[in-house]
Amino acid sequence: MDENINELISDLRTYLEYLKGMGITTLPVTENILEKVARSETATLAEVRKELGDCKRCKLHRTRKTIVFGEGNEKATLMFIGEGPGYDEDVQGRPFVGKAGQLLTKIIESINLSREEVYIANIIKCRPPQNRNPEPDEIESCSPFLMKQIRVIQPKIICALGTFSAQTLLKTDTKITALRGKLCDLEGIKVIPTYHPAFLLRNPERKRDVWEDMKKISDLLKSPQ
């Protein structure tokens, strides 16, 4: 990212010098281009969605019903990232709307936020057949779009839900039991992994851990930096 920006700045400088040589010393600016460049190569979620299109970049397009892009507040300070759509999400085209999703909604509300105030997405946007784990080529095709969503939203905190999300975002194979509740980093954004709501449905005794992680997230959201 930094390398790309440096290259862009260098190209821009060369071009401006060329224009100056031609006697052109002012430029009309019709939109906030600088902010757009600083934020990312795409400035809105609608642009990212448009670029994704009717995605056929990986084999999951053959079996999915709907692309589950993600939903919520484009200016969210807190973003939740799960693994990938399941049956209900595939049918409805929305993330976390099944049983695990209902629990996620409660988890969000436990820190006095609503689903509409946060942003919810997944590592991959199409349901794998029989809910198998996403494969490396599928993650590779999909993750640039998640990264663009993150760069547009620029949340203060990302809560990575479960092993798969945490390990993919943080590029590690450390176990979720060791990662959960730890303050990690992704491109300068704080990442806090916690257990996946589907895991909590099977292991309700771990809800206390997630509550502690959410309390930490809530405190960080209220802190000035």
Residues that bind ligand URA (CB under 6 A): 82-86, 89, 95-96, 98, 100-101, 122, 198
Which is closer to ligand URA, CB of 95 or CB of 155? 95
Please, what is the end-to-end C-alpha distance for the chain in angstroms?
23
| Strands, E assignment, 14-173 | 71-72, 78-82, 119-122, 157-161
Q: In whole angstroms, how close is the CB of 128 to ligand URA at the nearest point?
A: 11
Which is closer to ligand URA, CB of 72 or CB of 86? 86
- β-pairing verdict for 119-122 and 71-72: antiparallel
Which is closer to ligand URA, CB of 20 or CB of 175? 175
Q: In whole angstroms, how close is the CB of 120 to ligand URA at the nearest point?
A: 7
Q: Is the dihedral of CA 125, 126, 127, 132 positive or negative?
A: negative
Evaluate whether 158 touches 169 at the Cβ level (below 8 Å). yes
| DSSP character at residue 81 | E
Which is closer to ligand URA, CB of 32 or CB of 131? 131
Which is closer to ligand URA, CB of 43 or CB of 45? 45
Q: In whole angstroms, how close is the CB of 107 to ligand URA at the nearest point?
A: 13
Closest-CB residue for ligand URA?
82
Return all residues near 134 (Cβ < 8 A) that are at least 6 apart: 83, 84, 123, 124, 128, 142, 164
Q: In whole angstroms, how close is the CB of 42 to ligand URA at the nearest point?
A: 23
Q: In whole angstroms, how close is the CB of 134 to ligand URA at the nearest point?
A: 10
Name the amino acid, one letter, at 209: D
Dihedral of CA atoms 106, 111, 116, 122 in degrees, nearest 10, equals -70
Q: What is the CB neighbour count within 10 angstroms for residue 157?
A: 20
Q: In whole angstroms, how close is the CB of 182 to ligand URA at the nearest point?
A: 20
Which is closer to ligand URA, CB of 72 or CB of 84? 84
